[in-house]
Structure 1
């Protein structure tokens, strides 16, 4: 199969559905006051055409880079489409960036205008970012923007007559996606319309997707994972896309959407798992699941409370998720499938197929993708979604690409005889103990699966043995604050540590577990916007405490 010529770019897709199903709802946006706005395909196309006309009226240089800053919203996607309809290039910025990094992205990308969207300064970086936006940078405020002193989307689309869209060539530059910056300065990954749409073209060969699907968009649209799995798919297949109002209303938003397809990252799959276990402990689950009459009833009730009872395909990616957690979801009847991709190939690389998944792997190559293992066990991939290169950084582009066109992923891996890829760690995550032995953190972290440990991080460079730091789940922290028995939890963590060490080589046996006090968040820089740990930031934060921790010679150390 190949890309439908009438839908050869995301912008083509918008006008295709506006003509074919004009009255179908495309976007559903909830607001803090309880109001919910539905935007049909015809309305979406009309708003995009009017905003494109406004952008044309500004006399911006041809093919300008225009920024989009805000949390996910219906108008984030409409702004993205309007940028393209006016013949420009979109540059998304993570809403959780600090001011300095936001300023760097705006300057490096030479942004000529900024669409400012949903921000409130509570769970985002707006309070810092607002001081770093250049005073002479034109701004258009989307609904829910924190600024009311700029031209507003709502006013512009009323006053501006629509323009005929400039439908782009597939190989034209569409967007510059700045990496989440787990190490160093973010890099600007350049994608064409063709590389972006390749993910939809490939998916139609793997899953039966139709215009009757429903998805909830809540992971950052500034990242390729959400852009590929949600924005591009909804445009290509013409299905209904819902948005979340806030973290506090997330469960309500999920119930409204009742998604048939759901994509999330391991941190959130873990939070769902811990939330269920807090209400229905694992021991009780095992008892109930053994009773034939109650088995299916309880499982259906759990999925319904999660808002996933209509979900027929659930995906996890961006970081490893333990086989135990995946197995738990599958036991409920939700086939959770691990997928794999990078910003540099627009997330189009590997996936597990329904009914053919293999635990502990990220699946086999997607249609059109080839892979191999290079020097140092590094995974190398060639994909239809491969980037055009890094913006204004040809040297880094050459460094990350092989002479024959493969991307050096930076991930270590193994390919089994059936072509399933197992990610075994990050090349840059390896560290040496004081004995000169290499430690690979990710497999150790994946084996530590205590139900109250939300995130773990293995550290210990230049120490005699590695150690493991744990951030407890919010529920577990609240329980301890209310006087729960710390001794019982310590015994459980000790048993889990012993189980992990029983299957580890001598130099990778974990000396102790540290239960950390400081939460790891995007706001304090310890998590990326896709909720992966920033290992170098976490290691630097705790580095001075290592000597004291090792000197205590205890299996479990509490920071609080």
Structure 2
């Protein structure tokens, strides 16, 4: 593989070397649209030409608002070809958040693609040029398809320089407003090379893109695919997701813990745990069952299966191991371009996020905060010099905000978030992360937030999984009480859970209680519920339904 100097250079190489190879596969209803490298390149060049016709200032910022689709990749290529900087926006954000990002990022134009409710979101777009993709029902602005039909291709594409600003990625923000993380072309190349090397990705790589491309991890995985000239498939709708994934059978699959929990729910919905245990204990039959489940999940040919973005319970990892599915947990941030720690097939330990990756220096501060230094750290937060200064220490290490410990073999264990600590009215500090992981073994629970400010002992706020919602209150009370009774003896006296409170509504992006990457927004949940802690704590029941 050549030593590419930018994502665009990698694409241009494959466009010239394998123009007729299929690059992008986009299912739409009953049909599948495909784009070869040559076809994708032609569309991107025409959109780039149109972007330049706006006569924007040099190196202008161009936003990209869309769910994952073939056009997201072509739009990103077009932004690079036109010599602009991309501002990806999570497709689930509301109009207020979109407006905030577009204004803060100084975006001069926006490309709008596949979305669920653009009518509500477009109120957040200021008076800037819009390119709308009609295939996905976007009628506003200039017509992508018309541009492709009528425009000439941009012949002289901009070739990005090593230290050019490549993108500004707005963090999903579990606390406060999102911050714009600035990454150079070089950062993306260092990160992609590292991922290709440590994951030992095959040259015949096949990818399935579904986690938001506005998130750094998904974008880097796709970037690594472009490095290798890999075909990239997408899904059409949530209803077709399972079928589209099964049809693709990707070689690498990346998911957040919430998705692994959802997959387990679906399996147990069709095959209860008792029946599964029996079948897995029968020779020959167990091989057939594992093979069928892996085929159905779309993981039969996966060579590297990843969980990251949030801690995953060891019990869940071990559950999948019994099915012959090995989930490797990794750790990285938008700010360090995902190059930090990873479990690898030849060096893996459940319950940890792996060893320090090649080219990375890691240390713990006196308070136990994980600090990282690598060759792809962000330039800083856009227009936020104070926040940038705060996140680096005097030696230039990035302060991650996570607390951790290294074991004797050099594996990193995440023990919690620095800002997630709270103090009960007994004056004892509690880091809830490890307790939430233990509780997550209960398949009736979807999400957990352990709190305790102003009360003597912590309480657990939970939402129910689909399996949990099928149970009666009596069954749930027994299940949740049993979880507390079994876990409390393993905890310190001041950590023991006093109550479980079942929330009446789910936590999601729409109500502002999770980030677009499905992490619980502790601050937002506490703000709504803290006034009730004392009442819940004094309730005589162990399990309370809100």
TM-score range, shorter-chain basis? over 0.9
Whether the 8 Å CA contact 1:288–1:298 is kept in 2: the answer is: yes
Q: Which residue of 1 aligns with 2:448?
A: 456
1:428 matched to which residue of 2? 419
Given the alignment of the two structures, is residue 491 of structure 1 paired with residue 495 of structure 2, yes or no? no
Give the aligned partner of residue 459 of structure 2: 467
Is 1:358–2:354 an aligned residue pair?
no
Q: CA RMSD in A?
A: 1.4
2:9 to 9, 12, 18: 12
Contact kept? 1:27, 1:240, Cα under 8 Å: yes
Residue aligned with 1:36, SS? strand
Query: Secondary structure of 2:508's match?
Result: coil
Aligned residues: 544
| Structure-1-length-normalised TM-score | 0.95
Identify which of 56, 59, 62 aligns with 1:60.
56
Q: Would the aligned equivalents of 2:443 and 2:467 in 1 still touch at CA under 8 Å?
A: no
- Cα displacement (A) at 1:127: 4.4
Which of 460, 465, 468 in structure 2 is aligned with 1:476?
Answer: 468
Counterpart secondary structure, 2:266: helix
* SS of match in other structure, 1:411: strand
1:162 aligns with 2:153: yes
Query: Which residue of structure 1 aligns with residue 428 of structure 2?
Result: 437
Q: What is residue 224 of structure 2 aligned with on the other side?
A: 233
Q: Secondary structure at the match of 1:450?
A: coil
How big is the shift at 1:44?
1.3
2:274 is aligned with 1:249: no
1:10, CA displacement in angstroms?
A: 0.4
Match of 1:505 in 2: 492
Is 287-296 or 499-508 further displaced after alignment? 287-296
- Contact 1:47–1:78 at 8 Å: present in 2 too? yes
How far is the alpha carbon of 1:555 from its aligned partner? 1.5
Q: Secondary structure at the match of 1:527?
A: coil
- 1:102 aligned to which of 68, 83, 98: 98
Report if the CA contact (8 A) 2:352-2:414 is conserved. yes
> 2:168 is matched with which residue: 163, 172, 176?
176
Partner secondary structure for residue 300 of structure 1 = helix
Q: Deviations over 1:71-99 (max 9, x none)?
A: 11111111111111111100011111122
Query: Which one of 89, 110, 114 corresponds to residue 114 of structure 1?
Result: 110
Tell me the equivalent position of 1:540.
527
Contact 1:118 1:143 in 2 (8 A): no
Alpha-carbon separation, structure 2, partners of 1:16 and 1:488: 59
Q: In structure 2, how many angstroms separate the alpha carbons of the residues matched to 1:385 and 1:145?
A: 35
Structure 1 consecutive aligned stretches of length 4 or more whose deviation exceeds 6 Å: none
CA contact (8 A) 2:113 2:138 kept: no
Matched, 1:289 2:280: yes
Q: 1:531 pairs with 518, 521, 528, which one?
A: 518
Query: Aligned to 1:156, what secondary structure does the other structure show?
Result: helix
Unaligned runs of 5+ in 2: none
TM-score by length of 2: 0.97
- CA distance 1:545–1:290, shift in 2 (3 Å): same
Residue 397 of structure 1: which of 374, 388, 403 is its match? 388
Identify if the C-alpha distance between structure 1 residues 346 and 153 changes in structure 2 by more than 3 Å, giving closer, same or farther: same
Which sections of structure 1, spanning at least 5 residues, go unmatched? Answer: none
- Tell me the equivalent position of 1:188: 180
